[in-house]
């Protein structure tokens, strides 16, 4: 039986700060980065190639080394594990990786140790999907309701969602899964684009990119806001003018406001009829989001990319704080925690519109959105998944978004795994600080190496 024989963790950074890709009111100069975990095995995949597991979490540069160090702490627990035994009980793998109470203290279930846990578990899920020869969404969709609930972490959720309720949600969708898979195979999963609206782009570039989004079949466009109200009014005017009255406009403040300020600012932009305001304030402020939501309706409130675990999502739902759940596949503890959040969202009838972009997030979220529609929510109403068109060239099985005739959508992945295997050449080039790109000195000012303080 094949086993995990070794693990490697790489600190991979792309110099996105040079082009203002990804710039917003809080994060002006991110270097999109991946803590990249590889689980090496002595086995072969279904076509006889060496079997490995490839997973990541996303950061924006400095500190990616810290996440990598934490991931190595966690991943080495997997060395010697039997892969088929893992596949048979991924709940146990989750518990193994979260059982270290000394590491737990550093969160718990948040920050660096949770990001790194996501990377290690993402690699584990990629591994078992590759072993099964299925794309991850298919592996999950093929599970019974009982199997899905068994891998979900429902701890601390029972006041909002019991195991029986979770099973009920899944059983209600069980017999119609095949029809929804067939539907998505025809249409793709609905996508929207953020590529147009980074804060560092000038008006001409904004106008051009909005037009491109329209031409490519997008029904949704998202803009970054929150640095300057006059600028935001001008940029929203441009975007609304280009996309017309029928397509949806979303705005994203990346946590820059206090609660009262958020209410004022969003009201000042309400005439552009945004579908949602994203991250209006601190991601920890559940009651603040609820207050903002009450004050800015009918503009919806969205958050989740920095929502650090299922307990926070539970409360966002309990407090009626959000209209859209933007869970993040690099921040939650992989499928085990994501399934719990999908079930909570279904119970509270909040649409899940996952956060993506970054590095590899689009590759992952397509699997999550497909799982959500096919097996959990059974609903596409108000659902649309983020897509940002950069850095996909570094993946061996990049996601594909195209206009299927009913708007742009993610095409169902067919390759085995979680779609997050990187080209070895990309890792070699952008590994920090010794990859060819960084060693050449090109990015020295962008992301200084950690040096001893002496």
Span 243-262, contacts to a second copy by CB under 8 A: 255, 258-261
Separation in Å, CA 233 to CA 23, 183, 286: 18, 39, 27
Query: Which of 71, 132 has the CB closer to a second copy?
Result: 71
In angstroms, how far is CA 153 from the centroid of its own chain?
18
Q: Which residue of 2, 87, 89, 108 would you call a contact of a second copy, by CB under 8 A?
A: 108
Work out how close the CB of 149 gets to a second copy at its nearest, in angstroms, rounded to a whole number: 16
Identify whether 394 is a catalytic site residue: no
State yes or no: residue 109 binds a second copy (CB under 8 A).
yes
Query: Which of 120, 376 has the CB closer to a second copy?
Result: 120
**Considering only CA atoms, which of 89, 108, 88 is closest in space to residue 98?**
108
List beta partners, residue 55: 37
State yes or no: residue 200 binds a second copy (CB under 8 A).
no
Q: Which residue of 288, 357, 407, 417 would you call a contact of a second copy, by CB under 8 A?
A: 288
What tokens does 393 get?
Answer: 């060239």
All residues at 6 or more sequence positions from 356 whose CB lies less than 8 Å from its CB, including other chains: 362, 364, 365, 385, 386, 387, 388
- Positive or negative, the CA dihedral 438, 443, 445, 446 is negative
Scan residues 14-33 and list those touching a second copy (CB under 8 A). Answer: 26-31
Work out how close the CB of 209 gets to a second copy at its nearest, in angstroms, rounded to a whole number: 23
Q: Give the relative orientation of helices 203-215 and 229-243 as an angle to the nearest 10 degrees.
A: 30
Side-chain-side CA neighbours of residue 311 (13 Å): 6
Say which of 355, 367, 392, 394 is annotated catalytic: 355
Only segment of 80-88, 104-112, 210-218, 337-345 that touches a second copy (CB under 8 A): 104-112
Q: Annotate each residue in 134-173 with x if it binds a second copy (CB under 8 A) or - if it does not, as one string.
A: ---------------------xxxxx--------------
Angle at 220 between CA 419 and CA 310, to 5 degrees: 55
Q: Give the relative orientation of helices 259-269 and 229-243 as an angle to the nearest 10 degrees.
A: 40
Query: Which of 57, 419 has the CB closer to a second copy?
Result: 57
Scan residues 289-308 and list those touching a second copy (CB under 8 A). Answer: 291, 306, 308
Say which of 73, 173, 224, 394 is annotated catalytic: 224
Identify whether 171 is a catalytic site residue: no
Angle at 109 between CA 14 and CA 142, to 5 degrees: 80
Work out how close the CB of 413 gets to a second copy at its nearest, in angstroms, rounded to a whole number: 27
State yes or no: residue 282 binds a second copy (CB under 8 A).
yes
Query: Which of 111, 133 has the CB closer to a second copy?
Result: 111
In angstroms, how far is CA 315 from the centroid of its own chain?
20
Query: Which of 60, 401 has the CB closer to a second copy?
Result: 60
Only segment of 215-223, 278-286, 387-395, 427-435 that touches a second copy (CB under 8 A): 278-286
Work out how close the CB of 240 gets to a second copy at its nearest, in angstroms, rounded to a whole number: 29
Scan residues 43-72 and list those touching a second copy (CB under 8 A). Answer: 59-63, 65-67, 69-70, 72
Q: Annotate each residue in 356-395 with x if it binds a second copy (CB under 8 A) or - if it does not, as one string.
A: ----------------------------------------
Question: Rounded CA gap, 259 and 285, in Å?
Answer: 9
Question: Rounded CA gap, 147 and 140, in Å?
Answer: 9
Spatial contact of 83 and 43, defined as CB atoms under 8 Å apart: yes
Which residues are annotated as catalytic? 224, 355
């Amino acid at each position: 039986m094949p086993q995990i024989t070794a693990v490697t963790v790489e600190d991979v950074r792309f110099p996105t700060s040079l082009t203002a890709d990804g710039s917003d009111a809080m994060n002006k100069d991110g270097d999109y980065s991946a803590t990249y975990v590889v689980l090496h095995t002595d086995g072969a995949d279904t076509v006889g190639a060496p079997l490995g597991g490839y997973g990541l979490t996303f950061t924006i540069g400095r500190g990616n080394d810290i996440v990598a160090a934490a991931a190595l702490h966690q991943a080495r627990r997997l060395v010697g594990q039997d892969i088929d035994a893992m596949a048979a009980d991924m709940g146990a793998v989750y518990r193994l990786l979260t059982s270290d109470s000394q590491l737990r203290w550093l969160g718990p279930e948040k920050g660096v140790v949770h990001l790194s846990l996501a990377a290690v578990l993402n690699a584990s899920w990629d591994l078992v999907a590759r072993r099964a020869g299925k794309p991850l969404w298919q592996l999950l969709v093929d599970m019974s309701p009982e199997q899905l609930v068994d891998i979900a972490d429902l701890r601390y959720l029972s006041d909002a969602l019991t195991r029986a309720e979770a099973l009920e949600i899944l059983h209600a969708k069980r017999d119609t899964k095949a029809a929804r898979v067939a539907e998505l195979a025809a249409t793709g999963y609905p996508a929207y684009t953020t590529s147009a609206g980074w804060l560092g782009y000038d008006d001409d570039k904004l106008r051009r990119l909005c037009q491109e989004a329209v031409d490519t079949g997008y029904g949704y466009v998202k803009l970054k806001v929150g640095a300057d109200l006059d600028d935001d009014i001008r940029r929203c005017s441009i975007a609304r003018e280009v996309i017309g009255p029928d397509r949806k406009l979303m705005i994203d403040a990346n946590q820059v406001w206090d609660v009262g300020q958020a209410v004022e600012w969003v009201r000042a932009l309400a005439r552009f009829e945004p579908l949602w305001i994203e991250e209006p304030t601190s991601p920890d402020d559940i009651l603040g989001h609820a207050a903002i939501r009450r004050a800015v309706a009918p503009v919806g409130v969205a958050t989740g990319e920095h929502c650090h675990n299922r307990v926070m999502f539970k409360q966002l739902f309990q407090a009626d704080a959000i209209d859209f759940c933007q869970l993040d596949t690099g921040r939650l503890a992989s499928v085990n925690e994501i399934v719990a959040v999908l079930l909570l969202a279904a119970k509270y009838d909040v649409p899940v519109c996952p956060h993506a972009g970054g590095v590899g997030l689009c590759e992952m979220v397509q699997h999550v959105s497909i799982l959500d529609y096919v097996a959990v929510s059974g609903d596409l109403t108000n659902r649309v998944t983020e897509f940002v068109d950069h850095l996909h060239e570094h993946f061996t099985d990049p996601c594909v978004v195209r206009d299927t005739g009913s708007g742009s959508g993610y095409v169902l992945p067919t390759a085995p795994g979680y779609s997050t295997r990187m080209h070895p050449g990309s890792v070699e080039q952008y590994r920090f600080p010794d990859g060819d790109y960084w060693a050449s000195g090109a990015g020295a000012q962008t992301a200084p190496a950690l040096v001893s303080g002496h």
